[in-house]
Chains A and B, each alone.
Chain A
Amino acid sequence: MNTENRDAAGSFAAGMRLGVGPAAPTFVLGIVYGAAASGAGWGFGEPLVFSALAFSGSAQFTLLTALSTGSALAAVGAAVLINARYVVMSAVLNDSLRGGRLRRSVLAQALTDASFALAHHGGGRFDITRLVGASVPQWSAWVSGTAIGLVAAPPPVLLRTVGLDVAFPAFFLVLAVHELHRSRRAKAAAAGGAGIAAVLLPLTDPGIALLGATAAALIGALPGSDPEEESG
């Protein structure tokens, strides 16, 4: 094994060790997702394949929430928009990827919020091997958690009694807290999104209300800088 291969193996192993941390909550959320998907009548194969291939908690929770209450088009739109940040993240990652477009595109599939942070060297540079290594335990935890949730399949009334109906919105709130720290505009976008959804909810189906909430992001097109973003 030459030096380059040893370095790559070391980075991958380090990534896997670091990935165990976020894998623990991912496993529990996978169980909650599997149980909720089962409760929503999604069957066994669809949620498991979805977890294995999409590997995206926020998009999967969003589709589950929106599809049960609204049209398929609006639900897919909401689930895709919740992951819009990956467009920016993959653009940021692009400079650290090596090889042709296909190879780099495949490597970018390992992108998760936690792996992105764990692989950051600073100055916008990323260790891609570490990023892939960090995603392996998270992916395993997400898929196995989903399977366990599907098999256990607790009834909805039990989920409510033990408070598991709180897990979805609490998970979204925890993610939102991270987003709110980014800038003043993020806070304004969140306030706008909540306000739009609250107003639209009695007037239309929840999927449309969710899509409407994304209009609050248009404040990003306004001229002027955000001092908190610049300092952050």
Chain B
Amino acid sequence: MKLWLSVLAVTVISWVMKAGGPLVLGHRRLPPAAVRITGLMAPALLAGLIVVELGGSGWSEFDWTQLCGVSAAGIAHVLKAPMLVAVLIGIAAAALLRLGLG
């Protein structure tokens, strides 16, 4: 039940957020400060997600081979690899590293 409610909540709130412009604002615009804060939510949260994914609960799941794979994906994307290719490079780097380490 907790899962269904969470899925439903995220789905409905996502719909409302996408409809936010037409529904709420009409022809008005967000205040400049609110636009600036909202625009920075994604980079702040994405950085937090990367840390949480790598560290796990209480930093108990940290795995340096996973960090190497993620770094490889990031470097590949900075060097202009498309999203899918960059992610695949990261996956391959981690898999090869683990294979090499036995």
Contact = CB atoms under 8 A, between A and B. Distances in A.
A46 interface: yes
A76 B22 CA distance: 24
B30 to A, nearest CB: 6
Interface string B1-28: 0111111011101110111111101110
Contact of A173 (B42, B50, B56): B50
Contacts of A161: 95, 98
B68 to A, nearest CB: 9
Contacts of B41: 81-82, 84-85, 214, 217
B86 A210 contact: no
A180 B58 CA distance: 27
Interface residues of B, number: 71
A168 B53 contact: yes
Contacts of B35: 88
Main secondary structure of the interface of B (DSSP, over half): helix
Nearest to A99: B22
B2 to A, nearest CB: 5
Contacts of B87: 25, 28-29, 166-167, 170-171, 174
Contact of B46 (A86, A88, A176, A202): A176
A63 B10 contact: yes
B7 to A, nearest CB: 5
A213 B39 contact: no
Highest count of chain B CB atoms <10 Å: which of A92, A161, A175: A175
B29 to A, nearest CB: 7
Contacts of A169: 49-50, 53-54, 66, 70
A42 B11 CA distance: 16
A141 to B, nearest CB: 11
Contacts of B29: 91
A186 B43 contact: yes
Interface in A140-167: 160-167
16 contacts: A80-B9, A80-B10, A89-B21, A97-B22, A104-B22, A163-B69, A163-B91, A163-B98, A166-B87, A167-B87, A173-B50, A173-B77, A174-B83, A186-B39, A194-B50, A210-B52
Task: Report the 8 A-B pairs with minimum CB-CB distance, sorted nearest first.
Answer: A213-B48, A25-B84, A220-B36, A193-B44, A90-B21, A163-B95, A105-B19, A170-B73
